[in-house]
Structure 1
């Protein structure tokens, strides 16, 4: 089947893009468009042209798989194709439905008139792939929607509704019926009127305000500095829009194309493309086929209405799934429900949620103090204290009261899912669902596969993760699974660096400058230092001979009640809100601890801080891959991007390691082992790949 199809409707011809599932503008589509234009522009019987998308959308843009590859010979590139289309003397109308994103919107902007169906989303999200709109988007959108709107939309990559697009002038009309019929009628009317086509490239009104405000671009750069730190693409987008204001269209388009070429093969763009594909790959599980029967999840239960339980209940309600929350007593239940209501109300007060939406979501949440209240639900998530005896007791009760076909999930972050499943008579229906805090905000969901978890249980839970708006990543059972197991290495080395001579603010600054939203000590203060303290105490009690780092300074902070932001003091002081302030009391405690441990403090370079924090993290990721705890290196990257804030523009820890060179990291780990102990020995997989001059990408 051709990637484009032509249908004649009287004097108007409709060109449909036929490249499911998203009508990507790959080489076959571009060749088809070229042939269609040649045919229709030379046909005197055709007075107008409509471009539409077949299937569920107009077009989601370029075929990302073609990036970085030489185009096939004799296939036009998209910018030239759009320029040619725009120069048509015959009116060209875009009939947009579903999504018009990236090159899809650029194609529509090259049309002379744009009609959108209800529930359409439009935007230029290329910056999220480390590139910019390279087919005229940075030149046409400012002319159509104004410079300030173009800056915000292109630099954020945000998609807008058809209603917002109409207000901005991106679309000219919203269809109340079939958008193709409306576009055909409009093309006929424009042809009958005989007026010259309105070309976006020739419009000037959107640029006037910016030309009279020369400081606009510098101000915008200042405002975007925090969210764009470490990245090149957002700044290139601004430069291109600035070029639209100061240069004629043709020169601006050339400037845009040169900026695009510089970005597309850079590490930043490769990293973000890797993240894009890795997020889609995580749904593929070799021994759980796509056609595995799943169970419908129409009702849910959550055991526990504390911070995690309440957040998880909100996740279900946000997805429109009725959820029953069970607490020990009415006082705890009321406090938990009040916290949920307060969280929603705060979002309403900020204008991010309508009051009626909040009311509908709250109505989906029911409280109870008896386990029998979840007897009939499809899916139960246990979210009680991270203590094995309590969790096993809860699962024993759930096994008795829940329907035989219900899935029982544990929200453990470190504990053995198989031991928890052993408390039931249905281990095949038990699975781990490690939500990240705050559960109603964080997108990652580690789906922990037990030894007996059935294919149906896994498939149902992975499907549910998507329904809940989460990025579900299947992981295996081990202490800490993927994310927290790697996190332990990262936090341990950060703590050692502080004992040896660095200060918390030194380590946090280096990690922040690398691209994380915050460093390990600020993160610990945010999460609560007492969480790790309780886990360490439990492990030391269970295993007195445990030689793993016991968190000396962190434990001493907790003994002084410095749990972090919630107590106003942790590794930092918090005098006003959440701004961390270095504390001389902490620095004195650090110096005292170093003396007691017999460590002579020294100056530690930024490079050593970076290597000591991140190389062991990568090394642990290699061990996880060796053991089959994660299916793919990309799965590890997705966990760290969405769960721990690893900078997306670096592609995740395993992708980043490949850019550094596994030989470099393996050599550093051998040096660290010699200096610090056997726990720093390089993983066998790391050594093997390094010796073969391969990377994690080659697995």
Structure 2
């Protein structure tokens, strides 16, 4: 087998090229080949300097994900980077594409760095629950300073070439688009000016500046903790950077970095974040894509110009589609177009889109109308009208008559039966659910709801549109609420029961936020509008199982007063003068006390741990039932729905991964305990019981499904 590293000459410059497609990952053969090439360069009397460059579309893009979680075969990357830095002749990294993680650490080990203008660099290890482990936390502060290094490493963000130059991370942004040519030209300047090696490890000026600043690391830790919200690795990044400043020498700092790296490698958070990393990729493997081929989609119709319809339109416009928005009358379409324009203006102000892009989208790609007939030639229609079966049936009946053959007809319903909607047409094979999450132009989750007669080509089309729109498409079967809202319904009911039984809604929210969610269920209900849940409860009232405990009376009474949350200024919380953050509402507590008295409930206290034990147990148990019924293909699909649509903390991996790490026997034991209080609600999922009896995990089901 030939080495992925080649060695050649361009005059007196040695060119060391990696060719390990698709992204030149730093696999064992690459590390070994790089080590041998550096040794060859040291003994090469013809070469005055060396350039390390990537073939194809990028420099080293980072570690080989196939090696994640496995013992690392020699040579290790830290040693290879040290070998580069120890060279007695100059070594130049020529960067293009993305130099990330270990790839950027290789560049930091080089004596000089030149980048083409489109290159990006970064140390994103924090997003995998670890820290840079090959000198990134030691060399970055020596080049960019401690504060800049902390900002870069704790965020994991990618930095463009010009910003990297401004930070001192690279030495030149080349006008050349060929990285090899840029590297060789820069190497010629180095040798022509008799400039020798410049080991990053020897640069101490910026560390000396940091040593003069009292309380520097206290401030950095406080800032990191505020953003991390329970995640360990950002804070450990600060510990490692501090070691660069306080260790007796560079090698001692490297040793401390490695110790911290190894500690995180053994943590549950690292395991959870790696699960999320692979899970995001795994959910795209669905059976329909093995036989189905995406239909061509260039023009899309969106029915509805409200918050959801306008958000969907923006997501599709940004993805490059031509969008026709349809509304019921002139005022409604004017309002819908205004929402799109306002959001795009905000994107320009934040630097997310250019003025030229906005103008092109509004002038060339976007059209608003009150005529359904304008959808006659579109390739895909996404209905985003009021969540009413009668309304949606009427829309699909019209679409069936108007749209061309082969047009994909999609409903953005969040709860309703897609099979029933499809039955309103003469082409049920072309109907599918595409459930976007609000705000649809920002939220990445897209539940793709496959109906009984959905053609594989239609499923493939929905996944292709999701990918182009940079959404995480996840397959769901048909049931009330699909994966996400069905599971959410269970843990919201638990939250309501907790309040009836003695907790305040504010204690529940605080426990959930403490667990790692961005907000609690009652804050979220106020944000979305309490009337939405109220309408759903009223819709289901006639079919509610008589054995089900109804614990939403206190929320219903708040809604009956016309208090729906933020939009009305009062809900579970109160929002004085349009405030976005709510304050405790005494009237809410009064209503809760009235309901308890009427039901004869003796209130008791709940700790945050007790709240989360019930909250997570309900989520996990319902997730197992969703799997039993085939609504979700795999446990990881449920995890990714919760991560990308409902704010579950990524560093906990998702509810099913969390259950595995806690122990399924422990989760089942909690459910059995709660079952004695409410046998109907807490009936354990048979799948969960079976897994415990077999000594298996949810992840074992992922492994069976994902090859």
How many angstroms apart in 1 are the aligned matches of 2:238 and 2:142?
Answer: 14
Report how far residue 52 of structure 1 moved: 1.3
654-663 or 396-405, which moves further after superposition? 396-405
Structure 2 residue aligned with 1:404? 405
Q: Which runs of 5+ in 2 are unaligned?
A: 702-707
**Pairing 1:86–2:85 present:** yes
Structure 1 residue aligned with 2:571? 570
Report how far residue 131 of structure 1 moved: 0.4
SS at match of 1:404: coil
SS at match of 1:320: coil
How many angstroms apart in 1 are the aligned matches of 2:548 and 2:684?
Answer: 19
432-441 or 223-232, which moves further after superposition? 223-232
212-221 or 329-338, which moves further after superposition? 212-221
SS at match of 2:26: coil
How many angstroms apart in 1 are the aligned matches of 2:195 and 2:519?
Answer: 57
Structure 2 residue aligned with 1:104? 103
Report how far residue 162 of structure 1 moved: 1.5
Write the deviation string for residues 527-568 of structure 1: whole angstroms up to 9, x where unpaired.
111011111112225669694737211111110111011111
- Describe the shift of the 1:642–1:48 C-alpha distance in structure 2 as closer, same or farther (beyond 3 A): same
Structure 1 residue aligned with 2:344? 344
**Is the Cα–Cα contact under 8 Å of residues 558 and 571 in structure 2 kept in the other structure?**
yes
**Is the Cα–Cα contact under 8 Å of residues 672 and 681 in structure 1 kept in the other structure?**
no
Structure 1 residue aligned with 2:239? 239
Structure 2 residue aligned with 1:121? 120
**Is the Cα–Cα contact under 8 Å of residues 564 and 571 in structure 2 kept in the other structure?**
yes
**Is the Cα–Cα contact under 8 Å of residues 478 and 629 in structure 1 kept in the other structure?**
yes
Structure 1 residue aligned with 2:378? 377
Report how far residue 427 of structure 1 moved: 1.5
SS at match of 1:680: coil
- Describe the shift of the 1:542–1:551 C-alpha distance in structure 2 as closer, same or farther (beyond 3 A): same
- Describe the shift of the 1:332–1:546 C-alpha distance in structure 2 as closer, same or farther (beyond 3 A): farther
Alignment of 1:663-682 (within 5 A): 663-682=665-684
- Describe the shift of the 1:689–1:543 C-alpha distance in structure 2 as closer, same or farther (beyond 3 A): closer
- Describe the shift of the 1:545–1:603 C-alpha distance in structure 2 as closer, same or farther (beyond 3 A): closer
Report how far residue 171 of structure 1 moved: 2.0
135-144 or 269-278, which moves further after superposition? 135-144
- Describe the shift of the 1:207–1:362 C-alpha distance in structure 2 as closer, same or farther (beyond 3 A): farther
Structure 2 residue aligned with 1:416? 417
Q: TM-score, normalised by structure 1?
A: 0.96
Write the deviation string for residues 134-192 of structure 1: whole angstroms up to 9, x where unpaired.
11111111111222221111100000112211222222222323110121222233234
Structure 2 residue aligned with 1:609? 611
- Describe the shift of the 1:555–1:466 C-alpha distance in structure 2 as closer, same or farther (beyond 3 A): same
**Is the Cα–Cα contact under 8 Å of residues 47 and 188 in structure 1 kept in the other structure?**
no
- Describe the shift of the 1:427–1:81 C-alpha distance in structure 2 as closer, same or farther (beyond 3 A): same
**Pairing 1:428–2:439 present:** no
Write the deviation string for residues 417-439 of structure 1: whole angstroms up to 9, x where unpaired.
11111111221211111101111
How many angstroms apart in 1 are the aligned matches of 2:200 and 2:89?
Answer: 15
Structure 2 residue aligned with 1:491? 492
How many angstroms apart in 1 are the aligned matches of 2:280 and 2:288?
Answer: 19
SS at match of 1:309: helix
471-480 or 191-200, which moves further after superposition? 191-200
Structure 2 residue aligned with 1:182? 182
Structure 1 residue aligned with 2:49? 48
Report how far residue 222 of structure 1 moved: 2.1
Structure 1 residue aligned with 2:704? none
49-58 or 307-316, which moves further after superposition? 49-58
Structure 2 residue aligned with 1:651? 653
Structure 2 residue aligned with 1:211? 211
**Is the Cα–Cα contact under 8 Å of residues 533 and 555 in structure 1 kept in the other structure?**
yes
**Is the Cα–Cα contact under 8 Å of residues 410 and 434 in structure 2 kept in the other structure?**
yes
Alignment of 1:147-166 (within 5 A): 147-166=146-165
SS at match of 1:678: coil
How many angstroms apart in 2 are the aligned matches of 1:461 and 1:80?
Answer: 46
Report how far residue 319 of structure 1 moved: 1.5
How many angstroms apart in 2 are the aligned matches of 1:377 and 1:550?
Answer: 46
How many angstroms apart in 2 are the aligned matches of 1:258 and 1:543?
Answer: 56
**Is the Cα–Cα contact under 8 Å of residues 477 and 631 in structure 2 kept in the other structure?**
yes
How many angstroms apart in 2 are the aligned matches of 1:404 and 1:14?
Answer: 56
Report how far residue 632 of structure 1 moved: 1.3
How many angstroms apart in 1 are the aligned matches of 2:326 and 2:561?
Answer: 34
**Is the Cα–Cα contact under 8 Å of residues 534 and 556 in structure 2 kept in the other structure?**
yes
559-568 or 194-203, which moves further after superposition? 194-203
Aligned length: 696
**Is the Cα–Cα contact under 8 Å of residues 437 and 445 in structure 2 kept in the other structure?**
yes
How many angstroms apart in 2 are the aligned matches of 1:159 and 1:640?
Answer: 26
**Pairing 1:288–2:298 present:** no
**Is the Cα–Cα contact under 8 Å of residues 510 and 609 in structure 1 kept in the other structure?**
yes
**Is the Cα–Cα contact under 8 Å of residues 312 and 440 in structure 1 kept in the other structure?**
yes
SS at match of 1:464: helix
How many angstroms apart in 1 are the aligned matches of 2:345 and 2:155?
Answer: 26
Write the deviation string for residues 217-248 of structure 1: whole angstroms up to 9, x where unpaired.
22222223222121110001111112222333
373-382 or 164-173, which moves further after superposition? 164-173
How many angstroms apart in 2 are the aligned matches of 1:422 and 1:182?
Answer: 61
Structure 1 residue aligned with 2:450? 449
How many angstroms apart in 2 are the aligned matches of 1:96 and 1:102?
Answer: 13
SS at match of 1:679: coil
Structure 1 residue aligned with 2:392? 391
- Describe the shift of the 1:385–1:567 C-alpha distance in structure 2 as closer, same or farther (beyond 3 A): same
**Is the Cα–Cα contact under 8 Å of residues 536 and 550 in structure 1 kept in the other structure?**
no
Structure 1 residue aligned with 2:307? 307
Please give the root-mean-square deviation of Cα atoms over the aligned residues, in Å.
1.7
Structure 1 residue aligned with 2:624? 622
How many angstroms apart in 2 are the aligned matches of 1:553 and 1:677?
Answer: 23
SS at match of 2:313: helix
How many angstroms apart in 2 are the aligned matches of 1:404 and 1:523?
Answer: 41
- Describe the shift of the 1:240–1:600 C-alpha distance in structure 2 as closer, same or farther (beyond 3 A): same
Write the deviation string for residues 50-81 of structure 1: whole angstroms up to 9, x where unpaired.
11112221122112342443233xx2111111
How many angstroms apart in 2 are the aligned matches of 1:651 and 1:209?
Answer: 39
**Is the Cα–Cα contact under 8 Å of residues 430 and 457 in structure 1 kept in the other structure?**
yes
Write the deviation string for residues 575-623 of structure 1: whole angstroms up to 9, x where unpaired.
2511121111100100100111121111223222111111011001111
Structure 2 residue aligned with 1:687? 689
SS at match of 2:576: coil
How many angstroms apart in 2 are the aligned matches of 1:350 and 1:39?
Answer: 49
Report how far residue 660 of structure 1 moved: 1.0
Report how far residue 345 of structure 1 moved: 3.1
Structure 2 residue aligned with 1:587? 589
